[in-house]
Structure 1
Amino acid sequence: MGIDVDLAARNNRLVRLLAVSLAWATLEILYQEKNRTGARIKKPTLAARSPFNERAVRLTAKANIVDRELYYWVLSTTTTNKDDVVYKDSFKETLHGEFQSLAPFKRVSPAIVDTWSSYLNNMEQLKAPETVSRLFFSTNPCKKTVVDAPTEWNAKQKLDTFWTRLFGEALGMSILQWETFDMIFFPIWGAAQEYVICFDLPDGKMNIIDHSFPEPDASVEAKYGKTPFLLKKFFSEALTRCKVPKMAAQVRKCRTHVVTMPWRNSNLIDEGRIYVMRHMETYFGESEKDWECGLGPSGTKSVEMFRIKYARTLLTCIYNTRGGDNQKKATRFWKEKPAKFKFENWVDLYGIE
C-alpha cells in the first residue's frame, strides 16, 4: 500500500511539472504593458497562472534589445548613480550600486540574491493552485548563525539571532500561515561556499542543492560541516516559537538529500552565486533527471547570459515600482552610446583596461 501511495505522489508531481501553460506569454505582456504605461497591473486570473516553471527567466542565445539597454545602462552608470534605489517592492529596496556585481566575472553580492528572493516570493502569486507553494528567505537568517558564526557565540546566541532575523523577514512578508508552504528555500552564504538548502516537506527531505562536486568519498559533513544540521535544528525551533508545532516536527524529520544534478562541476567556483539564483528559481522538487534549469557543467556563456537576463528581470519586473523609470533611463542612455558600439564586444571586454 505504501508503494502505491509513493508512486501516486510521484505521478501527481510529474503531471504538475509536465503541464503546459501560457503563463510566460501572459507575463511578457504584463511586463511590456507596465513598462510602457507605468500603470498598476491587475492580479492574474487563475487561467493566467502557471502550474510549472514557465515563470522562470528564459535563456536565449543572444541578448535582445531590452536586455542590452538595461545591462549597458546599469553597469555604465553605477559610479554616478550608486545610491539610487532601482528596485523597490513591498518588502525589498536595492541600490543601483549593488547591480555592479552582476557584471561579467564579478561575484554576485548578497544584496542581489536577497532581491532575487523577494522577486521569487512575488512571482509565487503567479502559481496555479495545484503547484507546490514555495517560500524564499534571504541570505540573512543563515549568515553568521548556521554558517561562519563568530567563534565566541554560544548556541543560544546563534539560535536567537537566526530566529530574530527569520521572524523579521516573515513579518515583512506578511507570513501568517506557515502551513500553506510546501517548500522553503534558504540560500547559504559562507566565506567558502554558496549553495541552497530546500526543505521539501511533502517529500520529507532537506535537499542540499550545490553546483560543485564534493571530494571523492567525502561525507555530507566533510563538505558542509554542521551547517545543514544547525539549519534544521534552528528552523524547527523557530517554527515552534511561531506556534507551528506540526510543521516544526516535519522539519525535524526531514532526511538529508544531496541533489546530484548533471550540471554539477568544480570549474565555475566564482559563478556559484548565479547557480544559487537559478536553482532557487527553477527547483520544484522534481528528480534530478527531470530537472532542467538551462545550465551546463561547462557553460560559461550560459552563466554570462543569465547575468544579463537577471539584471533586466529585476530592473523591469512588474513588482519593481521603479521598473518603468529604469527602462526609460536605459533607453535614453542607449541612444547616446558610441557610434561603433558593439554590445557583445563590450561585454567580453568589460573591466579589462
Structure 2
Amino acid sequence: MVFMLRGFTWKVFFPTCELFGHVIDCWSQVLNLDESKHAPESPLRVYCKTDVTNSYLESDLTESQRKDKFIENLVLSIEDMDAILCFVGLKEYIVDYLKSHNHPKAEMFSHVMPHRLEMPWRTINNSIDCGMFTMRHMETYMGGSMNEFKAGFKNESSTQDDQLVKLRTKYLYKIVTHEYNVQKDYVLQKVDEFHKIPSRQRSQLLAIAKEQIHMRLDDLS
C-alpha cells in the first residue's frame, strides 16, 4: 500500500484551514497500517474512506439503491470485516452486509443499539476544525461509553485551540514521515532546505503562504 498528499492538499494542515476529505482518507490508511501493530488487548479497528457514506447522503437514490451503493463502497474500502465498525445511522446497512456474508456476529450486531456520544469538548464557535476532531476521534476511540473515550481534548477554549494546532503538526508529520508515503523523502528534503533559510525570511514566506492558501481555498469554495 502506498499513499500521498498531492499538490495543494497537504497545505490545508495550516491552522485556520478546513481539511479536505482526501486528508481523512489518507489518515484512514495510516491508521489501518498501524492497526497491524495493535496490542492484543486492544480491539481491532478498521477505518473506511469518506466516500463510503456518500450514498447515504444522496437524496435522489432510493433506500435500496443507497444500501447497495453503501455496500459497494464499503467493500472497496476495506478487506477485513472482523473489526469494530462505528456507523451511527447506518446500522441496518452493515447488518445486511454481514448477513449476506454469513458473518457469525451478524445477528448479535442487529440487536446493538447505536448511541451518539455527547462529547464535552464539542464546540459552538469553531466550525473549521471538524476534520481535526474527526482524525483524533478515529485515532483514540476504542468503542464503549463516553467515560472510556479518552481523546484528550479540553472544553472549547484557547487551550483547545492550541491542542488542535499541535495536532495539525503531529498528524501532518506522521503522514509525511510514514514508511508507506511515496513522497516522504522529497518532502523531508524540502523541509531541510526551508530550515536553512534565515529565520526572518522564513517568517515572511510563511505569511505569504498563509495568504495564498486562504486565497486558494476561497477560489475552491
In the other structure, the counterpart of 2:185 is 324
- Cα contact 1:162–1:234 (8 A) shared by 2: yes
Q: Which amino acid aligns with 1:94?
A: L
Rounded to whole Å, the distance in 2 between the matches of 1:159 and 1:289 is: 32
Look up the match of 2:147: 289
Counterpart check, 1:100 vs 2:8? no
CA distance in 1, matches of 2:14, 2:199: 20
With normalisation by structure 2, the TM-score equals 0.82
Greater per-residue strand proportion: 1
- Confirm or deny that 1:350 pairs with 2:213: no
- Provide the residue aligned with 1:119 in structure 2: 30
TM-superposed deviation, 1:295: 1.9
For 1:239, what is the secondary structure of its paired residue? helix
Contact kept? 1:261, 1:289, Cα under 8 Å: no
Instruction: Find the counterpart in structure 1 of residue 218 from structure 2.
Output: none
Cα distance between partner residues in 1 of 2:198 and 2:67: 51
The residue identity in structure 2 corresponding to 1:239 is L
Cα distance change of structure 1 residues 316 and 158 upon mapping to structure 2, 3 Å threshold: same
Cα 1:306/1:160, change in 2 over 3 Å: same
Residues 121-177 of structure 1: CA distance to partner in whole angstroms, max 9, x if unpaired? 01112212221111111111101x22x21x33112221121111111122xxx43xx
Q: Summarize the Cα distance change of 1:350–1:93 in structure 2 as closer, same or farther, 3 Å threshold.
A: closer
1-structure distance, mates of 2:49, 2:72:
13
Partner of 2:48: 137
What whole-Å deviation, never above 9, does each CA across 1:325-349 have from its counterpart, x for those lacking one? 3212221233235545449x947x9
**Alpha-carbon contact 2:194-2:202 (below 8 Å) kept:** no
Are 2:171 and 1:310 equivalent residues in the alignment?
Answer: yes
Which one of 89, 92, 95 corresponds to residue 233 of structure 1? 92
The two structures, once aligned, show a CA RMSD in angstroms of 2.6
Match of 1:259 in 2: 117
Instruction: Please state if 1:158 is matched with 2:66.
Output: yes
User: Number of aligned pairs?
Assistant: 209
Change (3 A) 1:245 1:340: closer
Tell me the secondary structure at the aligned position of residue 152 of structure 1. Answer: coil
SS at match of 2:24: helix
2:130 aligned residue: 272
**Which residue number in structure 2 is paired with residue 34 of structure 1?**
none
Q: 2 CA distance for matches of 1:232 and 1:268?
A: 29
Instruction: Tell me which protein shows more helix as a share of its residues.
Output: 2
In structure 2, do the counterparts of structure 1 residues 245 and 333 end up closer, same or farther at CA, with 3 Å as the change threshold?
same
Matches within 5 A, 1:1-353: 90=1, 92-143=3-54, 145-146=55-56, 148-149=57-58, 151-170=59-78, 174-175=79-80, 178-179=81-82, 181=83, 183-184=84-85, 198=86, 228-229=88-89, 231-241=90-100, 243-298=101-156, 299-336=160-197, 339-342=200-203, 346=206, 350-351=210-211
Q: Which amino acid aligns with 2:181?
A: N
Structure 2 residues not aligned, in runs of 5+: 216-221
Q: Deviations over 1:185-204 (max 9, x none)?
A: xxxxxxxxxxxxx26xxxxx
Q: How far, CA to CA, are the matches of 1:337 and 1:153 in structure 2?
A: 56
**What CA distance in whole angstroms lies between the structure 2 residues aligned with 1:319 and 1:339?**
34
Question: Could you list the runs of 5+ residues in structure 1 that have no partner in the other structure?
Answer: 1-89, 185-197, 200-227
Corresponding residue SS for 2:114 = strand
For the residues of structure 2 that align with 1:270 and 1:153, how far apart are their CA atoms?
30
Deviating above 6 A after TM superposition, structure 1's stretches of 4 or more consecutive aligned residues are none
How far apart, CA to CA, are the structure 1 residues paired with 2:2 and 2:178?
A: 14
Q: Would the alpha carbon gap of residues 158 and 336 (structure 1) be closer, same or farther in structure 2, given more than 3 Å must change?
A: same
- Give the structure-1-normalised TM-score: 0.54
